[in-house]
Structure 1
């Protein structure tokens, strides 16, 4: 039998527990006087900052940031179709990255009842070092899968070894439907409010992070 060109796809994925959790918190205030609203939101945000910096000093928060004060005004309409006096809205957004889900849950339970505090969604992720290492490992394993698949085809055809001709991320050798980007980390998280009669506590349960890679390869089977 003459040489045969074999084109295959190799896939691999790894599932890891998140190493970090980044949460966004907004502190808001509103009222009829701009100066009073600004003063109030600054006072409400201060204990939130202090609670974050205290945990950073203790090692449970690895990084945090605070955006500038944002102020806007709006003139609402009453039920008679008349514009009312301006209402001022002020907000300060903060983000904090926790090293452990348990520490995040405790902190959220502490600050969630505070006046003006609004908790946002949580971004579960890995450290950059872990992401880079696992992406390399997953990509290499995807290539090994492609080689093994091509060799299996060659053996079934009664041929010998396969020689690589081309290898690329999925879709670059031949047009294919849209696929997840090779090596892309996907993070999913869920925030569940406790159903306990006492209420008030927040429990965060992160899903695993999936890092996947898909390659296409073309071999010559002899």
Structure 2
């Protein structure tokens, strides 16, 4: 008689507070004069660049210092384009010029993050595009190992539950790793902000819902499918 086979899925969920936050910022302007919109974006971009530069002092090796609130940042070059809008009769209106640049910075100090968002809220031509909470690569690697262990223990427990009923024990004969996935909350933003006081750094777009900059826990989930063979305990 062929041995009894038991196939079960094991899973695990681990929650951790984020260690990093990716802030994405855009600088935009539009109007009838290309030189003016380019100048506006250039000036605002210089201000944003200076903020991030002061928050990310470097060691002699070019890495962020241990106390730097921003571990690294980058930006795109200023770009321009033009469009010709149409009126209600589908007739062309005067040409409109657009200028744009963007930044992204990785924060490890979330108090400073809130202060920077509040500061940028007062600048014209600036949009906060996105705020993403993250774990460091080292933490994700450690959690990956832990989640695999926990998922396997979960599968073993399930298989033992089934085998116990028929008076047998189990031996794993095939394991399929279904991977790990981390889930964090991504916060979208609007163009204009009204910062509120307090450590939570809640920022409310005019006429829109509150955007909470308080760090959101990240869930790290692992899953595995395991096939066991049940054998007699005797």
TM-score, structure 1 normalization? 0.85
Q: What is aligned with 1:176? A: none
Following the alignment from structure 1 to structure 2, what is the Cα–Cα distance between the partners of residues 195 and 32? 31
Deviation at 1:82, TM superposition (A): 2.6
Alignment counterpart, residue 218 of structure 2, candidates 185, 209, 222: 209
Following the alignment from structure 2 to structure 1, what is the Cα–Cα distance between the partners of residues 221 and 138? 16
1:11 aligns with 2:8: no
Q: What is aligned with 1:165? A: 173
After TM superposition, where is structure 1 displaced by more than 4 Å over at least 4 residues in a row?
189-197
Following the alignment from structure 2 to structure 1, what is the Cα–Cα distance between the partners of residues 196 and 7? 57
Contact 1:11 1:215 in 2 (8 A): yes
Q: What is aligned with 2:55? A: 55
Deviation at 1:89, TM superposition (A): 0.4
Contact 1:109 1:201 in 2 (8 A): no
Q: How many aligned residue pairs are there?
A: 208
User: Would the alpha carbon gap of residues 75 and 141 (structure 1) be closer, same or farther in structure 2, given more than 3 Å must change?
Assistant: same
Q: What is aligned with 1:173? A: none
Contact 2:202 2:213 in 1 (8 A): no
Q: What is aligned with 1:187? A: 184
Show the 5 A alignment for 1:32-43.
32-43=32-43
Following the alignment from structure 1 to structure 2, what is the Cα–Cα distance between the partners of residues 79 and 132? 57
Q: What is aligned with 1:72? A: 81
Deviation at 1:68, TM superposition (A): 2.0
Deviation at 1:2, TM superposition (A): 7.1
Show the 5 A alignment for 1:73-222.
73-79=82-88, 81-159=90-168, 161-170=169-178, 182-190=179-187, 202=203, 203-222=212-231
- C-alpha distance after superposition, 1:149-180 (max 9, x if no partner): 21222122111x3111111034xxxxxxxxxx
- C-alpha distance after superposition, 1:27-72 (max 9, x if no partner): 1112222223222211111011101111112610111110122211
Structure 2: gaps (5+ residues):
58-66, 204-211
Query: How well do the aligned residues superpose, as a CA RMSD in angstroms?
Result: 2.4
User: Would the alpha carbon gap of residues 220 and 33 (structure 1) be closer, same or farther in structure 2, given more than 3 Å must change?
Assistant: same
Structure 1: gaps (5+ residues):
171-181
Q: What is aligned with 2:63? A: none
Following the alignment from structure 1 to structure 2, what is the Cα–Cα distance between the partners of residues 77 and 126? 47
- C-alpha distance after superposition, 1:168-195 (max 9, x if no partner): 034xxxxxxxxxxx31111104579768
Following the alignment from structure 1 to structure 2, what is the Cα–Cα distance between the partners of residues 201 and 11? 35
TM-score, structure 2 normalization? 0.81
Deviation at 1:196, TM superposition (A): 5.2
Structure 2 counterpart SS, 1:207: coil
Contact 2:107 2:113 in 1 (8 A): yes
